[in-house]
């Protein structure tokens, strides 16, 4: 069973049924990826599969996902609000950018909040735990080892508490003692878990410092699984290593959380976009590459076109007045004319959730293709469709 779902040919052939521009998520592709992840991660016996909302925060889509994954990780108060409306039963959160009163609200509503830094923890404690009531808390840790890469952030990360620094460690110990806290959750996120050695180095560091936190019951290893899943040789031995380490060094551990975002969503999303005009070989579409695919442009390709014209070289451009708003420069495709449309893939992660609004252009409508029907997804908190 491959991680990569087959292109939903029936959906592509029926894409004329929805107005353009539109982003469509294929439900069958989503469940295919989730089932594959559960199978491959299954060697980690206490595994829980969350999804990272920063990859896609559409309320309706998250309502669907809340039924197929174990929980969700959020990085802002706004994402937390989406998570509650979408119906997730388990929510984790960490960020240095969340207001203290919102952290308090999350904790009061049983969110597993993992404090990003010592000052954040102290500010929360002074404001909301003056009575020094014993509490279980979570921490996000910085991993200060030199295995950094272009997409892996260990010692170079600006997030998490570096407990190897004596000042941080001492300040943290004092807060834990003063406020009667017990650390039961540890959270790390280092960008991409590129390979077996990156994971091994990270686990070795955790083993060295977890003696400071003998009561840990939850270990959240973050996401960043995309590159790891592209290397079959590393994949199984990496998860076997995680199982071995957690079993040996974390006797009180109840769960190991993975929270992929890109890996879950990216291959389930498609953009339908139509031709507005053609000028000197430049095809102007009704959507904007600049507004939608700043992070993912290098991976996007045409997987369907309504045109039966001969193949020729064309530049396919977005609908802003920015010169560099280009989907494809001099690309080979069926000749596109007014009212033709194309479907682009992959488009499920870090597209609409990161969209810009040059000229005030709205984001495309979003749909879930499920049971051979296109269901429009809400984006506001007041309505949830699944």
pLDDT in tens, 169-206: 999 999 999 999 999 999 998 877 777 888 888 899 99
Whether residue 341 contacts residue 258, with contact meaning beta carbons closer than 8 Å, is answered with: no
Q: Are 205 and 320 in a shared domain?
A: no
**Which of the listed residues 202, 230, 260 is the one where a domain comes to its end?**
260
d(CA 71, CA 90): 5
**Same-domain status, 212 and 284:** no
- Contacts of residue 194, Cβ cutoff 8 Å, sequence gap at least 6: 149, 151, 152, 227, 228
Instruction: Tell me, yes or no, whether 309 and 227 share the same domain.
Output: no
- Count of CB atoms situated within 10 Å of the CB of 162: 17
Closest CA to 199 of 255, 239, 244: 239
175 and 118 within one domain: yes
Q: pLDDT for 15-65, tens place per residue?
A: 999 999 999 999 999 999 999 999 999 889 899 999 999 999 999 999 999
Which one of 260, 284, 302 terminates a domain?
260
- Are 256 and 270 members of one domain? no
CA distance 376 to 316: 27
| 217 & 298 share domain | no
Residue 26 lies in a domain: no
Same domain, 245 and 276: no
Average pLDDT for the chain: 92
**In this structure, is residue 59 part of a structural domain?**
no
Q: Are 94 and 240 contained in the same domain?
A: yes
Give the tens place of pLDDT for each residue, 106-138.
999 999 999 999 999 999 999 999 999 999 999
Q: pLDDT band for 372, please (50, 70, 90 cuts).
A: very high
In a domain, residue 116? The reply is yes
Q: Are residues 243 and 325 in the same domain?
A: no
Residue 161 lies in a domain: yes
Does 48 map to a domain?
no
CATH code of the domain in which 356 resides? 2.40.37.10
Q: What is the pLDDT of residue 47?
A: 96
Are 153 and 210 within one domain?
A: yes
Task: Write the CATH number for 103.
Answer: 3.20.20.10
Structural domain total, the chain: 2
Any idea which residues carry the catalytic annotation?
321
pLDDT band at residue 153 under the 50/70/90 scheme: low
Q: CA-CA distance, 380 to 307, in Å (whole number)? A: 35
Give 3-state DSSP helix, strand, coil % of the chain, rounded to 5: 35, 25, 40
Please check whether residues 323 and 198 belong to one and the same domain: no
pLDDT reported for residue 306: 97
12 found inside a domain = no
In the structure encoding, which two tokens stand for residue 217, read together? 């019951």
Q: Answer for the pair 375, 24: CB distance below 8 angstroms, yes or no.
A: no
Domain boundary among 260, 288, 322: 260
Q: What is the per-residue pLDDT for 385? A: 39
184 lies in which domain range?
90-260
Domain annotation covers residue 220: yes
**Cis-peptide, bond into residue 346, ω within 30° of zero:** yes
Q: What are the tens digits of pLDDT across the range 203-245?
A: 999 998 988 999 999 999 998 887 788 777 888 899 999 999 9
Among the residue ranges 1-5, 146-150, 235-239, 266-270, the one predicted with the least confidence is 146-150
What are 276's two structure tokens?
Answer: 């507005």
* 201 inside domain: yes
Same domain assignment for residues 119 and 212: yes
Q: Count the neighbouring beta carbons within 10 Å of the beta carbon of residue 166.
A: 8
């Amino acid at each position: 069973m491959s991680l990569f779902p087959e292109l939903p040919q029936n959906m592509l052939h029926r894409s004329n049924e929805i107005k353009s521009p539109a982003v469509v998520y294929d439900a069958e592709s989503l469940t295919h990826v989730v089932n594959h992840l559960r199978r491959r991660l299954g060697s980690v016996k206490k595994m829980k599969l969350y999804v990272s909302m920063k990859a896609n925060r559409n309320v309706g889509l998250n309502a669907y996902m809340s039924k197929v994954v174990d929980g969700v990780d959020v990085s802002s108060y706004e994402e937390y609000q989406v998570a509650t409306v979408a119906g997730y039963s388990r929510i984790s959160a960490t960020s240095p950018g969340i207001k203290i009163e919102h952290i308090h609200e999350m904790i009061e509503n049983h969110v597993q909040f993992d404090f990003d830094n010592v000052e954040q923890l102290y500010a929360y404690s002074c404001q909301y735990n003056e009575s020094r009531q014993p509490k279980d808390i979570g921490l996000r840790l910085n991993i200060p080892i030199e295995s950094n890469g272009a997409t892996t952030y260990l010692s170079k990360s600006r997030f998490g508490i570096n407990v190897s620094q004596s000042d941080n460690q001492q300040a943290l110990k004092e807060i834990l003692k003063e406020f009667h806290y017990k650390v039961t959750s540890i959270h790390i996120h280092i960008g991409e878990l590129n390979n077996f050695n990156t994971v091994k180095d990270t686990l070795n560091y955790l083993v060295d410092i977890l003696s400071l936190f003998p009561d840990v019951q939850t270990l959240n290893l973050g996401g960043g699984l995309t590159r790891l899943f592209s290397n079959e040789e590393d994949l199984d031995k990496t998860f076997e290593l995680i199982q071995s380490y957690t079993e040996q060094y974390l006797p009180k551990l109840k769960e190991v959380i993975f929270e992929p975002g890109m890996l879950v969503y990216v291959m389930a999303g498609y953009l339908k976009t139509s031709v507005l005009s053609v000028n000197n070989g430049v095809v102007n579409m009704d959507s904007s590459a600049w507004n939608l695919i700043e992070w993912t442009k290098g991976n996007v390709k045409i997987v369907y076109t309504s045109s039966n014209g001969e193949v020729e070289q064309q530049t396919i451009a977005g609908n802003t007045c920015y010169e560099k708003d280009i989907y494809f420069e001099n690309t080979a495709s069926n000749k596109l004319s007014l009212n033709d449309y194309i479907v682009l893939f992959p488009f499920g992660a870090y597209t609409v959730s990161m969209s810009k609004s040059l000229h005030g252009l709205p984001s495309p409508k979003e749909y879930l293709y499920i049971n051979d029907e296109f269901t429009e997804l809400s984006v506001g908190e007041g309505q949830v469709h699944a």
